[in-house]
Chains A and B, each alone.
Chain A
Amino acid sequence: MEIIGDLTFAGLASHLLVGLSRAMILFIVTSGLSFVLGVLRVPNIAHGSLYMIGAFVAFSISHAIGGNTGFWVALLLSPVVVGLVALIAERSLFCHLYEREHLMLLLFTFALMLILGDLVKMFWGADYRSIMAPKYLRGSINIFDSPFPKYNLFLLVIGPIVAVLLWLFSNKTKMGKIARAAAVDREMVGAIGINVSWVFAFAFVLGCLLAGLGGALVSPTVSVTLGMDHDIIMEAFLIVTIGGLGNMWGALVGSLLFGITQSFGVLFWPQFAIVFPYLAVVIVLIWKPTGMLKSVW
């Protein structure tokens, strides 16, 4: 039994890069979940379903259009489609439920996850689907003498861009500041004349849009299939918890920890790789039960 794999510098570096690029996907999805948790106080279990829908919509669009263009159109449009689904769900369902207790919200979003899962099954069936990245993002390039997939490098570029955009949004725009204020005291936001209801709709759509973007981005690297929702939502909730609820930087730090322990697990002990991130979660929560960074709850 081989416990320790390829322990060269190149091996380490390439695992680190893979871990980091996995962390970028996790961050994009988790920051959306965390945003919705922070501003709306809704633990949205259906967030993973929106991620899955993002991947399936990306599949349909990229196959309908085809080629390199298909991929880019899918990447741009599927978050928008997911955002629209979220807008409809918010205006018709969620907006009546914000004052309910968290247990109710958990049950409700859990039910929504099951419903969305079935809808996806009706629309796309239970087959495995795959999407091709554009030609110039396929294959590998050599970094430190070991091959590194180009698409993962692309993810390493997109992740920080999303982080910067999110930072700009919450610190430099009025909407972002209102969202931050509402995360702390939604009642007072109303009392200074702001219609919180629309702020919530906006925040919810933005959070879900990030799930859709994550789903579209991940689609060329995995098989797009039912069950994606369950896998991601488990990880996303753990990351939000270890990062600090509602804290965007916490989502980033948590995703990095999760992604990197995952990929180093593969390196050191492949048979049990899956255990490492969860071990890291347990250690973090024993050390800091409210998460590494400040929770807004």
Chain B
Amino acid sequence: MLGVEEIHTFYGLSHILFGVSLTVLRGEIVCLLGRNGAGKSTTMRSIMGLTPPRQGTIRFRGKDITGNKPYQIARMGIGYVPDDRRVFADLSVGENLELAQRTTGGLAVWDKDRVYSFFPALRRIDSRKAGFLSGGEQQMLTIGRALMTNPDFLLLDEPTEGLAPMIVKELEDRIGRLRAEGLTVLLAEQNQKVALRLSDKGYIIDNGLIRYHGSTEELTADEEARKKYLLV
């Protein structure tokens, strides 16, 4: 469904990704593991068109989407949940969701009510300004906001970072449910446990290079590789 081929991405003059390639098949959850500054978020931003790669191609459903604008990529069915959450702080929870609503395409039709059934904690705070939410609530809101665009592919950048274990568990459960509904997910994580429980396969990125890839079983078994690239 998604094919990233040999991309090189820069921030200004600094070269960050050095020929990253990865493949995500329909219905899979694929995790992208790597320590701080490894290039996970940059990979996500490259796919979303926020920091377009200078070299290499990105294909989505067989179509070359390299160089497309983020709004076009979103409309093709890619939802983006950034690592730093970035809710629209000045708008209410409900308004955050409504702005993202997109009724064409996609697998299932998401609306505000469905997001609230999916994350019941959000329903009570519908009219609260998003800037006043807790970390967990903001994370639910950014996932809900991405779902409102009716994506069939979701980029999740460290959704559990800095959250309490209870909330991490809830999010883990929800991500599993999304897969069950047919959504495909690329999940960037530092939290190996959560990532390996959810994914079908995984990639390890370090210093802008893919160092390892394999099925979850292989990754779980290969403690050496994980130690080498993931331990801080």
CB distance from B188 to the nearest CB of A (A): 15
Stretch binding the partner chain, chosen from B27-35, B67-75, B162-170, B199-207: B67-75
Q: Is the CB of A194 within 8 A of B90?
A: no
Stretch binding the partner chain, chosen from B15-23, B81-89, B171-179, B217-225: B81-89
Q: Is the CB of B86 within 8 A of A194?
A: no
Measured between beta carbons, the chain B residues less than 8 angstroms from A187 are: 50, 70
The A interface, classified by DSSP as helix, strand, loop or mixed, is helix
Any B CB within 8 A of the CB of A191: yes
Digit string of B75-112 for contact with A (CB within 8 Å is 1, else 0)? 10000101000101111000110111010000000000
Complex formed: what's the CA distance from A229 to B146 in Å? 44
CB distance from A294 to the nearest CB of B (A): 9
Q: Which residue of B74, B89, B102, B146 contacts A190 across the interface (Cβ within 8 Å)?
A: B74
Measured between beta carbons, the chain B residues less than 8 angstroms from A191 are: 48, 50, 70-71, 74, 80, 82
Measured between beta carbons, the chain A residues less than 8 angstroms from B149 are: 192-193
Measured between beta carbons, the chain A residues less than 8 angstroms from B99 are: 174, 177-178, 181, 189, 192, 194
With A174-B99, A194-B99, A196-B71 as contacts: A185 and B86 at CB distance below 8 Å: yes
Digit string of A165-196 for contact with B (CB within 8 Å is 1, else 0)? 00000000010011011011101111111111
Digit string of B135-156 for contact with A (CB within 8 Å is 1, else 0)? 0000000000110110000000
Q: Is the CB of A177 within 8 A of B95?
A: yes
Chain B, residue nearest A193 (CB): B74
Measured between beta carbons, the chain A residues less than 8 angstroms from B69 are: 190, 195
Q: Which residue of A180, A190, A296 contacts B71 across the interface (Cβ within 8 Å)?
A: A190
With A193-B74, A194-B99 as contacts: A188 and B82 at CB distance below 8 Å: yes
Complex formed: what's the CA distance from A185 to B50 in Å? 13
CB distance from A283 to the nearest CB of B (A): 28
Q: Is the CB of A181 within 8 A of B90?
A: yes
Chain A, residue nearest B142 (CB): A188
Complex formed: what's the CA distance from A112 to B23 in Å? 49
Complex formed: what's the CA distance from A18 to B102 in Å? 49
Digit string of B23-48 for contact with A (CB within 8 Å is 1, else 0)? 00000000000000000000000001
Q: In this complex, which of B50, B71, B102, B146 has the most chain A Cβ atoms within 10 angstroms of its Cβ?
A: B71
Complex formed: what's the CA distance from A194 to B88 in Å? 14
Q: In this complex, which of A177, A188, A194 has the most chain B Cβ atoms within 10 angstroms of its Cβ?
A: A188
Measured between beta carbons, the chain B residues less than 8 angstroms from A193 are: 71, 74-75, 100, 102, 149
Measured between beta carbons, the chain B residues less than 8 angstroms from A195 are: 69, 71
Interface residues on B, range: 20 to 34
Chain B, residue nearest A198 (CB): B71
Measured between beta carbons, the chain B residues less than 8 angstroms from A177 are: 91, 95, 98-99
Measured between beta carbons, the chain A residues less than 8 angstroms from B89 are: 184
Complex formed: what's the CA distance from A187 to B71 in Å? 9
Q: Is the CB of B48 within 8 A of A185?
A: no
CB distance from B11 to the nearest CB of A (A): 14
Complex formed: what's the CA distance from A139 to B74 in Å? 59
Q: In this complex, which of A174, A181, A183, A296 has the most chain B Cβ atoms within 10 angstroms of its Cβ?
A: A181
Q: Is the CB of B74 within 8 A of A192?
A: yes
With A192-B145, A193-B149 as contacts: A185 and B71 at CB distance below 8 Å: no
Complex formed: what's the CA distance from A190 to B96 in Å? 13
Chain B, residue nearest A180 (CB): B90
Measured between beta carbons, the chain A residues less than 8 angstroms from B90 are: 180-181, 183-184, 296
Complex formed: what's the CA distance from A194 to B75 in Å? 9
Q: Is the CB of A190 within 8 A of B86?
A: no
Complex formed: what's the CA distance from A296 to B99 in Å? 20
Digit string of A49-82 for contact with B (CB within 8 Å is 1, else 0)? 0000000000000000000000000000000000
Complex formed: what's the CA distance from A183 to B131 in Å? 14
Q: Is the CB of B91 within 8 A of A181?
A: yes
With A191-B48, A192-B146, A196-B71 as contacts: A184 and B100 at CB distance below 8 Å: no
Digit string of A89-122 for contact with B (CB within 8 Å is 1, else 0)? 0000000000000000000000000000000000
Residues of chain B touching chain A, judged by Cβ–Cβ distance below 8 Å, are: 48, 50, 69-71, 74-75, 80, 82, 86, 88-91, 95-96, 98-100, 102, 145-146, 148-149
Residues of chain A touching chain B, judged by Cβ–Cβ distance below 8 Å, are: 174, 177-178, 180-181, 183-185, 187-196, 296
A–B Cβ pairs within 8 angstroms, 7 of them: A190-B70, A191-B70, A191-B82, A192-B74, A192-B146, A193-B74, A195-B71
Besides the known contacts A181-B91, A188-B88, A192-B146, 9 further A-B residue pairs in the complex with CB atoms under 8 A apart: A174-B98, A174-B99, A184-B89, A187-B50, A187-B70, A188-B82, A191-B71, A195-B69, A196-B71
